[in-house]
Each structure stands twice: as C-alpha cells, then as structure tokens.
Structure 1
Amino acid sequence: MSDEKDISYEEDVKKTTITTTSTSDEVQVETETTEKSEEEKEYLRKLNWIVLPFAGMTIFLNFCDKSALSVGPVLGLNADLGLTGQEFSLLGSLFYLGHLVYQLPNQFMLQRVPHARYLGVLLCIWGLVMTLTALTQNFAQMAACRFLLGLFEAAAMPTLYLVTSILYRRSEQTLVFGFITLCNGVGAAVGSAIAYGIAHMGHPNGIQNWRWNHYIFGALTILHGFIVYFFMVDTPKHKKLKLTPAEERIADARMKDNAVTQHREFKYAQIWECLKEARWYLLVIAAFCISMQNGGMLVYSTTFTMALGFSPLDSMLLQIPSGFASSLGVLAAMLIARKTGQLLYTGIGLLIIGMIGLVLLCAIPEGEVKLLGFYLSWAGTGAYSLLLTYVGNNAKGYTKKIFYNGCIVAAYTLGNFAGPLMMVEHEAPRYLSGVGGYLAGFGVAAIAFLIVRIQAARTNKKRIANGAVGDVNLALDLTDQEDEQFLYRV
C-alpha cells in the first residue's frame, strides 16, 4: 500500500514529497526535494564551495595526523625511541583516551561558542602538538603527545557534523556526511603516498624521517587552523555567504527542513530523554563495535601488511589501495542510500561486506590473497558514516543532537581505543583475537542497525496514521519524541 502527500514548505521549494510504504509493521518514509528553485541552487552552490573544502581538509589533516603513528615503524620511529610492540599498541590507544576525555567538555563548548572559530583554535593547538611530537625522545614523551593530540582533535568531527546538520537539508545530509567520512580514506591514501616520499628523504639535517613527517603535517594543520578561524561558514545566514533577500528566505525554509536550529540553553530534559531511548543504546553499541576494526587496523595497517611478507616500503605503498577501498565503500554507500532512501539497510550491507573480508583474514593462514580480506574489511567502517547520517537526520532538539553526536563519538573513541589492544603481538601475522573480535563487532552492529530501523518504521506508521506529514516546529525546540509531526528517515 502506498500513500503520497505533497507539502509545500516555501515558494522556493516547488515540491517536496513524503512517500510512505506500508508492509506489515514497517513504514518507509522518504522525504526528497524533487525540484529546487534557481535561487536555492545558487545558495547550495555557495554552501558547497565555502563549507565542504574546509570540512574535507580538516578531516584529511585529522586522519593524517592521528595515523602518522601507523607509518612510524617504517620511518624509524620504533628504532629511534626504542619502543616495544606493547608500547606501540599503547601509543595507538592513548590517542583515543585523550579523544574520550574531551567529549564532555566539547558538548558544553558547542552550545556556547561560534563553531568555526572554535574549530580553528583547536586546529592550531593540535597542529602545535603534532609539531612538538617530532621532538620527543622516549616512550613517555611520545605517550604524552599522543594523548594531547587526541584531546585537541576530539572536537573536530562532532563540530563538523553539527555544522553540516545545521546548514544542509536532511535529504542532502547523506552525501555531505559521506563526503566527510570519505576524506578519511583520501587521507589514508594521500598520507601514505606522502609518507612514502618522506621515506626517501635520507634524513636531511640528521633528522629522522618520522620526525619530518610530524613537522610537515603539524605545520599544515596550523596553517589550516588560521584559515578556518577567519573564513569558514557555520550558520545558514553567515555574512560571508552574502545572501540576497530571496536567499535569506530560502535559508529559513532549509532550517525548517533539517529540523535543527541553534539554541544556547542546555536542556537536561533532552539528555534524559536520550538515556531512556533503546535507540540511543543501540547506536552507541554499534558505533563502538564498528570502530574497533578501524582503530586496530589503522594503527597496525603497515605492520600488518609487513607481516604478510611485504617489504617495509611496499607495505607503506599498499596502504594507498586500502585508503581508496575505504573511500569507494563510503562513496557507494552514499549513492545507494541516496538512491534507495535506505540508510540503515545500506549500512547493514556494508557491514556484511566487511565481515566477509574479516572471515578471509581469519580463514586463510598466509599468502598475498589475505590482502583482499584486508581491503574488504574496510567496507564495514563505511557504515559509521551512515550511522552519523541517521543521527543527523533523526535526533531532533539542539541539546539532544549535541548529546547524541557526543556519545556516538565517545563510543567511536572507545572502540578505537580497544582495537589496537586486541592485536596481540605473539599472534602475528594472523592476529586471530583481534580480527575475530572485529568480526563479532560488525555482526553486533548489523543487528543493532536492524532493530533501530524496525523501531523507527513502526513509529512512523503510527504517526502517519494519526495525520503526521513531517511539518516540524523549530521555534519550540521540540525533540523527535515530543514533535508528533516528525517522521524518521530510515
């Protein structure tokens, strides 16, 4: 059975269609702007050219800086500092401990400060930490720098996800969030290529190559921080957009569609509502389970491929395909989810592909064919971008959205913290404990996605039966539970 209702938000949006499809206990709701006016297209072009390059470069540097450790052994890090295998694992995890510590302060800061300037300051600070890391002489100093790097990088992704959820329509957020996640894969590929070049520098001025890697990316991060501080747009009517009166009306309509507007009052009732939702626990668990593979395979990516029999430099080059494989997985997820309107089912599909890769790694004792499993395993991490898109689309209420984003990132951080510790040194090159744990994690995340989707579809069916058409009220800052007109995108 299918029902269609046409709802006009504003004159600038000619047609917005809500399609509901009922099959037993499920109702699929797909909201899509089928036609935009020329004024809105121009407004969107302005946003894309001003926002996306800043967001993409921020995530690119975020990834390159935190993953500098993974290529460190090839560039002489372990030998220079006298690190053991266990100490190397701890360095990978300490970054995420710093990441976790800053999540709570970050939630308060996001509700009280201009987002672009906040992000610019943090970029400059973590760029400085990255640069100072090049001066470390032992494990203790390196551990302190890795903790501080994680502390100051912690706000980057939550800030960008919040800014983009404010600026973009819900129907556009799948592509935007996917683009941000895709930049992680680009960072893996390009960062590995740059590290490969650094490996051939020959220790200029007597400085080890791993130190040059930190100097170069630290300087780039500081420069980017200054640019973000002065030029990034973080509100729908920012003066740098130079909006016409017609475009200002468009901005108002878009804020209504994306179901979020900024409020400075921190509403504890919205947090309590989160804690009473089964959905919150399921999504937090899913974020944790997905990110275990990301943390372990990221830190051990070069070491893992070296254990398969490749030379150190070849192992570094082989990270380039893994970065592109991750990017392709995210790109495919974006396109499929946008085409089908199925966020969570697409995420489940990616997790299944990742599970196939991990099964190959567990089942095949040795040989270069294990690289196929290594590359396929990265597909599962693409489900994280769809999880974030789901939260951006469906967590309504400003405090609630910030809390959801913060908790998801905290779970992501804990998973990344646990991941490297699951790679037991004496199990090389198969690392069965770690790989088996990542496999189980992907399975649990897939089940969590499925339960969340079923619950949301049932709520939509009930609300549509009561006359809901998806016309949300922003003035009262209602949550998705309080606003009976709100329909979930699944």
Structure 2
Amino acid sequence: MTDNTKSQDYHGVETIEHAPEHCINAHGENSGKDRAAEVLHNAGHSAILTPENNARVLRLIDLRVLPIVLGIYFLQSLDKTTLAYGSVFGLVTKTNLHGQQYSWLGAVVYLAQLVCQPLVAYLLVKVPLGKFLAVSVFCWGAVLAAMSAANGFAGLLVCRLLLGAFEAGVAPAFISVTQMWYRRREQPVRLGAWYAMNGITNMFGSLISWGLGHISSSTLAPYQIIFLFFGVLTVAFSVVILIFMPDSPLDTNFLKGEDKLVAVERLRLNQQGIKNDIWKWDHVKEAVFDPKTWLWFAMLFSISVPSGGISTFGPLIIKGFGYNEFKTILFNMPFGAVQLIATMGGAYIAMIWKLKSPVLMFLSIPPIIGCVMLLLLSHDTAHKGPLLVGYYLISVYPGITPLIYSWQAANTAGETKKKITTAIMIVGQSAGNVLGPNLYTTEEAPLYRRGLVSNLVLFILLIIIYAIQIIILKIQNHRHEKRREAVGKTRKVVDKSMSAVKAGDDDIDSKTTANTLEEDRSLDDATDWQNEDFVYVY
C-alpha cells in the first residue's frame, strides 16, 4: 500500500489526492469512487446521451420509481394528519386530553425524527434504499393501526413517538432518490411531485375521513376507525414497495444493457455521483463546516415552525371560524388544492427559470398576507369568508419546503456529505415541527394569536435567509472559477445538468470513455468543495 497524501482545499478542509487504504479492495481497484465507475469500467464504454435515449430512460424511471415514491409520501402525510382528523371527531374529549397534551402529540413525531437523523444518515449510505423504505413503511403502518387501541395520553404518546421514529428516514430517503435518479434540471418537479402529496392528502384524506367519520360502530369511535383504516392500508402498501422499489439505478432489472449506461450518463453532468456505500468522515467534517449546511438548516426550521403548527391545528383553526366538524373537514379540502398548485407551480417555474431562490421568495409572500388577515380580522360570522381566504393564503407555504429540499440537493455532492447535509437539514425541520404545535394551544382558540404572530415573523425571516444563501453560493462559484483557471481549465463553464438534452450536446463532456474515466471527477465521490468542476445553482 502507498501512503496517502492530502492537501488543503480553499476552505481549509483536507481533500484526499490518493485513495485511502480502506478504499482499495482485494483486486487493487479504487472502491472509494462511486459505484457507477465500476459499471462503466465493466461495460468498457459509456453511453452517448441523446434527446431520444434520455427521454426514453427518463420515462422508464418515472413510470417505475415515481409512483412508489408518491404512494409512500401520500401515506406518510395521511398518517401524520390522522391526528388532526381525529381531533375533529372527538379524540381530545374521549381520551381526556388537556393543556398541552394534544400539542405534544403533534410535536413528539418530529422530536423522534430529530433524534433518529444521525442513524438515518448512516443507514442511507450503508443499506439498500428500496429495502429501507419497505421496512420503514411496514413499521409505521403497524404502529398507526395499533394506535386505535390507545385510550389515553400515555398510549397515544408512545404510538406517536414510534410513528415518528419509523417515518424519520422518509424525507431523507426521497431526497436521496431524487439525487440518485434525476438530473438537477429534473429534480425540482420530482421533489415537488412527491411533496405535493400533502395537498392530495388534504383533499382526499379529508374526504375519506369525512366518510369514515359517518360510520356508526358500537365498539370503535370514529377516530379509532380512521387510525385503523389508514394503518392497515399502509402495511399493505409496504409489500408493493418491497417488490417493486429498486435500490439504485445500478441495482435494478427494469434498466438493462445500454439503458443502464444512459441512466449513469444522465447523472454524470450533475457532478454529484450516484451511489457509494463507503462512509467518509472527511465528508462529515466538510458538511459540518460548510455554511450552506446551516443556512439549509435555518430555512427548514423557519418554515417548519408554521408548518408543524398549522398541520396540527389547521382543522381547529377553521372550526374556530364557526363551522361544525363536517363542514370543517370539507373546508379543509381547498387548503390541499392550494398546496398542490403552489407546490407543483413553484417547482415548474423553478425548472423553467433554472432558479429556485426567486420562486422561494415569491412563495413566502402569500403566507405573510394570510397571517396578517387572520390576526386582524374579527372571528365572527360576518368575516367567515375573508377568514377562509386568509387561511388559504397561508396554505401556499407547503410549496416552500420541497424547493428548499431541491435547492440543497442540487448544491451538495459526495455520498456521505449529501446524507449528512440532508440529516442536519431534517433536524432543523424536525425541531421546527416540534416547536410549531406548541406555539398553539387549545386554550387560545379561536384566535391562536401567539402561533400566528410567530409564523408571520418566520415567513419574513425566510426571505432574509434566502438572500444570504445566494451570496454564499455566488462566493463559492467564484472560488471554483479561480481553481479551474489555476489548473488550466476553462474559468466559465456551462452547467449542462440544468439544461434540456438537445441534439448536438453529445460533445467531449458526455463522451468520456472507460479509458479516460479516471480524468473525470463526476464519479470520484468528491464533494462539491473538492470538485472544482461543480457549479452551484441559485
């Protein structure tokens, strides 16, 4: 074995110039590289990306991967909001909840997710992704079904705690799926698609719960029927995941031969890698010292405080306008429609503009207006309509979270760094979701002033954080330009990962063969700091 040599990059973080010993396998090959490098090496060539083969493989991926991801997130969103539906159908009174107990049932899910993130980050590097998702979904479905037997705060709290633990890996896994299967141009719409299931949930979940609430049973309360129904449905879907969800583009049977090489080639221009199961501590160090990481953390925390509060107390806020339980559930359905439009509309505009920050700033404005309306308008019969309008304006906020996910996903490279950065970001999200419901209490009904004021402040703060992140990204792009120039490369490069594949694009950048692969850093499992060819997007 040869000694490793290290150098300091421009951030002061050590970068490995030669493979460390643990990255050399028994055959003398560098296993520290992305596993896709081995696929290309074994094939003896790489594919040439054309509009035709790119569209064909993207369609295959969308048809196989996306429906499963959408189904999982629909069920997760549904399972989390069953608490809010149950509250409308007597959960609070029949289980004798009082004080902050209902708020804590909403918050403890996210507290469990916060605590589990370090383990989730490690498992997502080391464990096959499809199997990880199947087991997670089965476990949380079983817990939700069992929650129908809980008849007091203690039992409900334990079930919600376990529910959060088993759901902790879903959002990080989906961000990993998006990075693993899609080009950076395609990521906002795909991330938006699965996150938009929150809107579908608010529409169809509300409708299904409305129907379940009408079931007359001598043994089960309506909220127990809701828990049991959705829990059993989730367990059944876990079998579908186990059978059909692939672990990665490198470990799947639905892409064969040249199509698998096209899938690899599509992602090479991302400069982010595809899959590596080696845990790298230098990636961990870099993620912790990267200022971008903590700005993603701050963004997710700031949006999740209002998200956690409104998702838990939303139906109760509407009920405070003077509606009965069935009208409350029905009037919550447009909330889901606005969510869906904001999420998919924002993602589509971000794809067209090739920019996320301006869209994020725009999406932060309607919730500000909505909070002001709910704070200033009188909660009486004469103002029911304007109050609902204000509530629906706030419901634009779910479009923000997936764009933050995709903004981070597009600006982080290196397998371990991607997982750690996502974990830190989800910790911020979980912390916000823990705090959010506790800023609302049932005693403050129907005004919920403390919760709405805090939400207003955070929506404004978000716009400031976006601006700071843009400055950081511009600085890091400038540093990469200087590094490229210093090693004799072109200072300004075209980021093809953000462009549509067109005829004539198959130039030298997309023709790298097995013989020249080692000169291409896209499959080195290098981080975005280490790889001077990485281009940050705003």
Distance, in Å, in 1 between the alignment partners of 2:132 and 2:55 is: 29
Distance, in Å, in 1 between the alignment partners of 2:46 and 2:187 is: 20
Which one-letter code corresponds to 1:488 in the other structure? Answer: Y
Instruction: Extract structure 1 runs of 4+ deviating beyond 4 A.
Output: none
Distance, in Å, in 1 between the alignment partners of 2:365 and 2:290 is: 26
Q: Residue in 1 aligned with 2:49?
A: 13
Which one-letter code corresponds to 1:405 in the other structure? Answer: T
Q: Deviations over 1:283-326 (max 9, x none)?
A: 10110010111110111111111111111111111111101111
Say whether 1:159 aligns with 2:176.
no
Say whether 1:225 aligns with 2:225.
no
Structure 1 unaligned spans of 5+: 1-8, 15-35
Distance, in Å, in 2 between the alignment partners of 1:213 and 1:483 is: 50
Within 5 A, what are the aligned runs for 1:356-435?
Answer: 356-366=369-379, 367-368=383-384, 369-435=386-452
- Is residue 460–residue 488 contact of structure 1 (8 Å, CA) maintained in 2? yes
Q: Residue in 2 aligned with 1:304?
A: 317
Q: Residue in 2 aligned with 1:478?
A: 526
Q: Residue in 1 aligned with 2:227?
A: 214
Say whether 1:440 aligns with 2:457.
yes
- Is residue 86–residue 223 contact of structure 2 (8 Å, CA) maintained in 1? yes
Shift of 1:464: 4.1
Equivalent of 1:138, from 144, 149, 152?
152
Say whether 1:76 aligns with 2:112.
no
More displaced stretch, 249-258 vs 441-450: 249-258
Shift of 1:63: 0.6
SS at match of 2:396: helix
Distance, in Å, in 2 between the alignment partners of 1:270 and 1:295 is: 31
Which one-letter code corresponds to 2:416 in the other structure? Answer: T
- Is residue 54–residue 266 contact of structure 2 (8 Å, CA) maintained in 1? no
- Is residue 481–residue 532 contact of structure 2 (8 Å, CA) maintained in 1? no
Greater Rg over alpha carbons, structure: 2
Q: Residue in 1 aligned with 2:112?
A: 98
SS at match of 1:111: helix
Distance, in Å, in 1 between the alignment partners of 2:202 and 2:99 is: 22
More displaced stretch, 49-58 vs 234-243: 234-243
Which one-letter code corresponds to 1:386 in the other structure? Answer: L
More displaced stretch, 207-216 vs 68-77: 68-77
Which one-letter code corresponds to 2:216 in the other structure? Answer: G
Distance, in Å, in 1 between the alignment partners of 2:421 and 2:388 is: 36
Distance, in Å, in 2 between the alignment partners of 1:73 and 1:67 is: 10
SS at match of 1:170: coil
Which one-letter code corresponds to 1:249 in the other structure? Answer: L
Q: Residue in 2 aligned with 1:293?
A: 306
Equivalent of 1:88, from 72, 89, 102?
102
Greater strand share, 1 or 2? 1
Aligned residue pairs, count: 458
Which one-letter code corresponds to 2:404 in the other structure? Answer: L
SS at match of 1:337: helix
Distance, in Å, in 2 between the alignment partners of 1:460 and 1:286 is: 21
Shift of 1:206: 2.4
Distance, in Å, in 1 between the alignment partners of 2:407 and 2:57 is: 24
Distance, in Å, in 2 between the alignment partners of 1:286 and 1:218 is: 32
Which one-letter code corresponds to 2:237 in the other structure? Answer: H
Shift of 1:341: 1.2
Percent identity of paired positions between Structure 1 and Structure 2: 27
Equivalent of 1:177, from 191, 200, 216?
191
The alignment's C-alpha RMSD in Å is 1.7
Equivalent of 1:351, from 345, 364, 387?
364
- Is residue 175–residue 338 contact of structure 1 (8 Å, CA) maintained in 2? yes
- Is residue 12–residue 40 contact of structure 1 (8 Å, CA) maintained in 2? no
Which one-letter code corresponds to 1:175 in the other structure? Answer: V
Say whether 1:330 aligns with 2:366.
no
Which one-letter code corresponds to 1:396 in the other structure? Answer: A
Distance, in Å, in 2 between the alignment partners of 1:455 and 1:242 is: 38
Q: Residue in 2 aligned with 1:21?
A: none
More displaced stretch, 422-431 vs 467-476: 467-476
Which one-letter code corresponds to 1:137 in the other structure? Answer: N
Which one-letter code corresponds to 2:528 in the other structure? Answer: D
Within 5 A, what are the aligned runs for 1:108-127?
Answer: 108-127=122-141
Distance, in Å, in 1 between the alignment partners of 2:49 and 2:524 is: 23
Q: Rate the CA distance shift 1:185–1:306 in 2: closer, same or farther, 3 A.
A: same
- Is residue 330–residue 382 contact of structure 1 (8 Å, CA) maintained in 2? yes
Q: Rate the CA distance shift 1:396–1:242 in 2: closer, same or farther, 3 A.
A: closer
Shift of 1:330: 0.5
Q: Deviations over 1:197-234 (max 9, x none)?
A: 0111122x421111111111101110111110121123
TM-score by length of 1: 0.90
Q: Deviations over 1:319-374 (max 9, x none)?
A: 11101111111011012111111111111110122211112112223221111111
More displaced stretch, 474-483 vs 216-225: 474-483
Q: Residue in 1 aligned with 2:81?
A: 67
Distance, in Å, in 2 between the alignment partners of 1:223 and 1:405 is: 29
Distance, in Å, in 2 between the alignment partners of 1:405 and 1:459 is: 19
Q: Deviations over 1:415-473 (max 9, x none)?
A: 11111100133332121111110111111221111111122124324534632425671
Distance, in Å, in 2 between the alignment partners of 1:335 and 1:240 is: 30
Shift of 1:185: 1.2
SS at match of 1:240: coil
Distance, in Å, in 2 between the alignment partners of 1:267 and 1:275 is: 13
Shift of 1:257: 2.3
SS at match of 2:433: helix
More displaced stretch, 465-474 vs 413-422: 465-474
Q: Residue in 2 aligned with 1:453?
A: 470
Shift of 1:154: 0.9
Structure 2 unaligned spans of 5+: 1-44, 496-508, 510-519
Shift of 1:404: 1.1
Distance, in Å, in 2 between the alignment partners of 1:189 and 1:155 is: 25
SS at match of 1:265: coil
Q: Residue in 2 aligned with 1:25?
A: none
